Amino acid sequence: MRKLNGTNVKKGLQYLKRNGLGETFYKARERLSKDGWDDGYQERFLSGRPGTEMLAGQRQEKYMHPYKISILVPAHETDPAYLKEMIQSVIAQSYENWELCIADGSESDQVGDTVTGLKETIDPKVAAKIRYQKLSGNGGIAENTNAALDMAGGEYVGLLDHDDLLEPDALYEIMQVLSKNLSREGKIYVNRIRAIYTDEDKIDAEGSRYFEPNIKPDFDIDLLRSNNYICHFFVVRTELARSAGGFLEEFDGAQDHDFMFRCLENIPVSAVAHIPKVLYHWRCHNESTAINPESKRYAYEAGKRAVEAHLKRKGINATVEHTAHLGFFRVIYVPVPASVLRLTRKQWDEMGPEDYAAIREDYIMILAEDLKPLTQEYMKELTGVLSRYEVGCVGGKVYNKRFRIESAGYTKDENGKYIPNFSGLNGHYSGYMHRACLQQRVDGVSLDCMLLRRSALEIGEDHKPKLASNYIVVYDPYAEFKRK
């Protein structure tokens, strides 16, 4: 019953207007069933938090290189109560080599007065780490964040919204990653990690309820093109942030998404670390996009342009479309000319090393005899994805006869077993964080439905082909197949 409120009714009507009655019916049905994903989350989260004794131990830890982390906060007419809570969440950090850089674009003095008043009540040494600058005017989110970046004196910077909260061990966990990735090069130590992000959840306006945890995968540029899944808490090397050009005004509303692309698109995947722990709380209130996506519709247009700009910089021939879900995008890659050998699953299974060696086509399309394509131009869709040089294999979404998802890519568990993603989910549903409907990297795709790059195949010791390790596998939900 909690979900039957005015805000959600308004969101439902807006979704109906955009997507029609059928899609809205399944959206509402899935939304109500998603309570199961939150079942017991708050209790699990609170029970897993570090206690006073553990935080005290973290404060005593010594580091070979105790990096200073500058936390960037663009502020504008922030509610004083939320602002105080945000600052207090930084002051409470168990790793203490930080500075808080607040760039205030407010017309009023309420942000400045709140910061000054709070600093007067705390230890002067801690107060000195809170840096505040009143800007000459409100330059927008990007320009205000650039002002905070200009203030930063740390080796790394982290992005924090003016009304959100950090967990007390957030910076400690960041430092654990940085400390483990130091390597000696000659007479100096170098850190290979250039950027780090954590999991997050949402917190209500009163700060009493934690919900909708966003449990993220490791760095995935395909998923980032589909949605800014990294979002919070994002920490990046300061020199990289500045050399990338900081934040651009033309992407206001999606400035973080654009900024992340420019920071991450040209560095090795191994230089990006993911901490699988909720360390950031995204505040939900009536004015925030967290609770009311329609409140900043312009942000999703900016997000689409951010993806387009990224693709253009990378020289990738593709177009970008909005999906039914605000803030989520579809990338349509333009295929390059290529020859395709079409095989059934049975034919593929019966082939031997000599047969593989005899293949001359660029791509190999394997499709089980009992699968019916639901996407008319599925070959164009799949060959478009495979036109990217780093992709060795791409697979579509497979439904069973009851229109339940059979596979939406596979994830390898800790024992090396491949687990089908979203298996059994209603085919009309979008899944956790809509990821059943988003292009993304996976560990594997269905052997009954995949397009392979011939040059990416190697013959293993079992005399069967396998994908060379320098290629990636992509799941593309826009090529759909159903069991007959």
Residue ranges covered by each domain of the chain: 1-33, 44-313, 340-483
- Residues 166 and 90: their CA atoms lie apart, in Å, by 7
Q: Which of 3.40.109.10, 3.90.550.10, 3.30.70.2970, 1.10.287.70 would CATH assign to domain 44-313? A: 3.90.550.10
Position 72 confidence tier, pLDDT thresholds 50, 70, 90? very high
pLDDT > 70: percent of the chain = 90
What was the pLDDT predicted at 354?
92
3-state secondary structure 315-362: CCCEEEEECCCCCCEEEEECCCCCCEEEEEHHHHHHCCHHHHHHCCCC
pLDDT > 90: percent of the chain = 86
pLDDT in tens, 94-146: 999 999 999 999 999 999 999 999 999 999 999 999 999 999 999 999 999 99
Say whether 282 sits in a helix, a strand or coil: strand
What was the pLDDT predicted at 186?
87
Position 187 confidence tier, pLDDT thresholds 50, 70, 90? confident
- Residues 90 and 96: their CA atoms lie apart, in Å, by 9
- Residues 50 and 48: their CA atoms lie apart, in Å, by 6
C-alpha distance from residue 61 to each of 56, 58, 66, 121, 165 (Å): 9, 5, 10, 27, 23
Most confident region among 24-38, 180-194, 239-253, 282-296 by mean pLDDT: 239-253
Q: What number of CA atoms fall less than 13 Å from residue 88's CA on the CB side?
A: 10
Ramachandran sector of residue 246 (left: φ over 0; alpha: ψ -120 to 50; beta: rest): left
The average pLDDT across 243-266 equals: 97
With a CB cutoff of 8 Å and minimum separation 6, the contacts of 451 are: 340, 363, 364, 365, 366, 379, 382, 383, 385, 386, 393, 394, 395
pLDDT at 147 over 60: yes
Cis-peptide into 422, omega within 30 deg = no
Biggest CA pair distance of the chain: 79
pLDDT in tens, 348-389: 999 999 999 999 999 999 999 999 999 999 999 999 999 999
Q: Which residue has the tokens 């290189």?
A: 65
pLDDT at 18 over 90: no
pLDDT at 3 over 60: no
pLDDT at 10 over 60: no
pTM over 0.75: yes
pLDDT in tens, 340-357: 999 999 999 999 999 999
Average pLDDT taken over every residue of the chain: 92
With a CB cutoff of 8 Å and minimum separation 6, the contacts of 107 are: 77, 138
- Residues 65 and 156: their CA atoms lie apart, in Å, by 12
- Residues 277 and 6: their CA atoms lie apart, in Å, by 32
- Residues 412 and 419: their CA atoms lie apart, in Å, by 6
- Residues 127 and 473: their CA atoms lie apart, in Å, by 49
The average pLDDT across 442-463 equals: 94
With a CB cutoff of 8 Å and minimum separation 6, the contacts of 418 are: 410, 411, 412, 443, 444
Position 39 confidence tier, pLDDT thresholds 50, 70, 90? confident
What was the pLDDT predicted at 12?
55
pLDDT at 164 over 80: yes
- Residues 236 and 394: their CA atoms lie apart, in Å, by 31
Higher per-residue confidence, 282 vs 25: 282
Q: Which residue has the tokens 């519709």?
A: 297
- Residues 115 and 447: their CA atoms lie apart, in Å, by 59
3-state secondary structure 165-198: EECCCHHHHHHHHHHCCEEEECCEEEECCCEEEE
